[in-house]
Each structure stands twice: as structure tokens, then as C-alpha cells.
Amino acid sequence: MTSFTEKLRKVTDSIWEANFNHPFVRGIGDGTLPLENFRYYVMQDAYYLSHFAKVQALAGGKADDLHVTARMAFHAQGTYEAELSLHEKFSTLLGITEEEKRAFEPSPTAYAYTSHMYRSAINGSLGEIIACILPCYWIYYEIGERLKECKPEEPIYQEWIAAYGGEWFKELVFEQLERLDQLALEASEKERQKMIRHFTISCKYELSFWEMAYTMEQWPDTEAVEVQ
């Protein structure tokens, strides 16, 4: 029998393929991605992960089972550690200054994607929240698996691949896949439909996030609008 997560993977496969084939992802693998784009990505992703951790913690608050509350809190802690070890190191290597961090503003896509996750956290069940945050785990895991054999010249890209292609990350991803399969079995058909919707939207936002970094997306320049 196909599991719920296998079904999710299948119905969103074309979005996954677009993620794998995105020039930002390919550019990490072959080392051709300009560091300027990666620098932009790292700043937006630090913002993204700080909200991702909060959504994981909110999910823990919706669990009926103390074990699951503790595991979700552990995952939030894991996100904090990833953020510290990856992004702080990258910030230093890329020369991102304190002043730049202070002046940081989330891009339209980073803001929209994190808002989408909060929406599930406020309105949804534990299963809906996990469905919503699962593409974040799972797409990066598969990208890590695909890029594992790549040896880009840029050491920063090598580290990025190693982080998502490693055992630590894999175990966290598989834990959430199993959890969602279990929650889907217990859910109503209506709730499962919502899970599919949240999951699909997040797969699309993962793709938009690469595009955002590849184009270094900005908010509309309102300074340029002449006020009559």
C-alpha cells in the first residue's frame, strides 16, 4: 500500500523536479553560482530558519503526546544549531557585517513563505503543520542526496552540501515522514486534503525561494514613485 507521504511525493513530483533543476541548485553543485547570490540567500535563509524554528515549537504545543512535544522542541533546537553552525560560519566567510544584518529586510518571498507556515500553525492541527513544514526537510534532503557526489571548487558550497547530505539531517527527515504517515492515518479526509494543500504550497515556495535568491528579489522601489 502506498503511504500518505509517498502519495504527497508523487502528486508534487513536477515541483520537486523544478527544484532540482533550478539554476541556483545546479550552480551550488557545479560551483558556478555567484557568491553574491549565495550571500543574499544566506541572509534570507537565516530569517527563514528563525521563523521555521518557532513554527516547530508551535507544532510541539499542538501535540497530544508529551513525547511528540519534546521531539518538536528538539527539532526546533536542531534548527537553531544548523543556523548557528552554517549561517554564522557563512556570514563570517562571506563578510556579512553587523551593519548589514541590522539593515536586513526579509524579501517578499521569504516573508510570504514564513507567513504560510504561521498560517498552518495558527489554524491547523499538528498534522497540518508538519505537512506544511515537511517540504523544508524533505526537498533539502533529496537535494543533499543528489549533490553528494558533486565537488564544487567553492568550499562554502561543499559545506552546504555536506550539511544536508549528512546522517544527522536524514534521521530528522525520516522521523517527520513517519510521524506524518501516522497522523494522516488518524486524520479525517478533510484534514488530509488540507495537509496536501499546505504541503504543495510549501513545495512551490521552496522553488520560489531559489528563484528569489537567483534574481536577488527586492520589494518594489517606492522611492522611485513620484508623489504628485
Ligand X SMILES: Cc1ncc(CO)c(N)n1
Catalytic amino acids? 136, 206
160 binds, among ligand X, ligand Cc1ncsc1CCO, none (CB under 5 to 8 A by kind): none
Cβ count within 10 A of residue 172: 18
Does 31 sit near ligand Cc1ncsc1CCO (CB under 6 A)?
no
Among 134, 136, 184, 207, binds ligand X (CB under 6 A): 136
- Say if CB 131 and CB 180 are below 8 A apart: yes
Q: Grid coordinates standing for 4?
A: 500518505
Q: Which three cell numbers stand for residue 126?
A: 499538528
Write each residue from 34 to 63 as x if it is in contact with ligand X (CB under 6 A), else as -, in one continuous string.
-----------x--xx--------------
Quickly count: other Cβ atoms within 10 Å of residue 107's Cβ: 23
Distance CA 63, CA 181 (A): 15
From residue 170, give the alpha-carbon distance in Å to each of 106, 161, 210: 28, 13, 21
Residue 172 contact among ligand X, ligand Cc1ncsc1CCO, none, beta carbon within 5 to 8 Å by kind: ligand Cc1ncsc1CCO
Report the nearest approach of ligand Cc1ncsc1CCO to the CB of residue 78 (Å). Answer: 3
Give the one entry of ligand X, ligand Cc1ncsc1CCO, none that residue 131 binds, where binding means its C-beta sits below a cut-off of 5 to 8 angstroms depending on kind.
none
Using CB under 6 A, count the residues that bind ligand Cc1ncsc1CCO: 7
- Per the CB < 8 A criterion, the answer to whether 5 and 180 are in contact is yes
165 close to 148: Cβ distance less than 8 angstroms: yes
Question: Which 63-92 positions form the footprint of ligand Cc1ncsc1CCO (CB under 6 A)?
Answer: 75, 78-79, 82
The residues binding ligand Cc1ncsc1CCO (CB under 6 A) are 75, 78-79, 82, 136-137, 172
